Amino acid sequence: MERTGFIGLGIMGKPMALNLLKAGFPVRVLESSNAARELGEAGAESAPDAKTLARESDVVITMLPDSPEVEAIVLGPGGVTEGIREGSLFIDMSTIAPSTAKSLYSALQEKGVEALDAPVSGGQTGAEAGSLSIMAGGSESAFQRAEPLFQVMGKSFVLIGGPGAGQMTKLCNQIIVGSNIQAVAEVFTLAGKAGVDLEKMREALLGGFAQSRILEMHGKRMIDRNFEPGFKVKLHRKDMNIALQSGKEFSVPLYGAALVAAHLDALLAQGRGEADHSALALLMEQLAGVENK
């Protein structure tokens, strides 16, 4: 199995790296990361910086919050490009701008390194269960090389197209997810204010055309008042910002996405950036004059 360096051990990255370790992949992490000790106890080795980690790995995976963090760890001083060896594979599984993914691809090509942009969907639950949906952009050969890793981390993995195609697909995913959460938040607020039993309504809706994973999972969160993050408001707002920028780039009006982004902005202004994105329900209740419990 190829030696894998994993950078970014947050809510999603840590369980993804742990799953690779459980599957027998040799994994190396940055010793400065908050989860390094836990990963070390599970069998991971450590490296003092990204340069060293890249030099000692066959495959480097990043799972970071946004484009600037990925660019810094890859292209900055002591970064991945200073240590990565020709013939290695770089996989960015963060959600970043498609234009950034293309720039990273070009920079790594100059080093003789194949690169994939391979963002994921499925949240913390999917990361822990190894059931993520992985959408990749890059070459067929790089994708085939990455497949053994993807088989451990995801239940589905598709090569969408060339560099940046994975990130564009993820942005579309985030628009759909955000719009669906918005819809569920609105109807739960309406029904709740009208005195409808939300548990029974959810059960009924799950049996018809309104059925969705969002209704199933996030609807349950709203009913249970469980807004501990599976995916944080601040991160979804970041993704929606990238989506809106892409809409401007291609002259595509994204009216629904803009509404969701504005509501996520409101949650951020209220200090709820660390909450799960299903907290859109709290905002809808507030606007409707429903007391939050």
Residues designated as active site: 170
Buried b (16+ CB within 10 A) or exposed e, 22-46: eeebbbbbbbebebbeebeeeebbb
Q: What is the DSSP string of 54-113?
A: HHT-SEEEE--SSHHHHHHHHHSTT-HHHHPPTT-EEEE-S---HHHHHHHHHHHHTTT-
Question: Which residues make Cβ contacts (< 8 Å) with residue 282, sequence separation at least 6?
Answer: 227, 267, 272, 275, 292
Phi and psi torsions of 271, nearest 5°: 80, 25
Give the residues across from 163 on adjacent strands. none
How many residues does this entry show for the chain?
Answer: 293
DSSP SS3 for 12: coil
Contact between 53 and 83 under an 8 Å Cβ cutoff? The reply is yes
Tell me 208's DSSP state: S
- What's the gap between Cα 282 and its chain centre? 23
> Closest Cα partner for 62 from 35, 95, 34?
95
How close are the terminal C-alpha atoms of the chain, in Å? 50
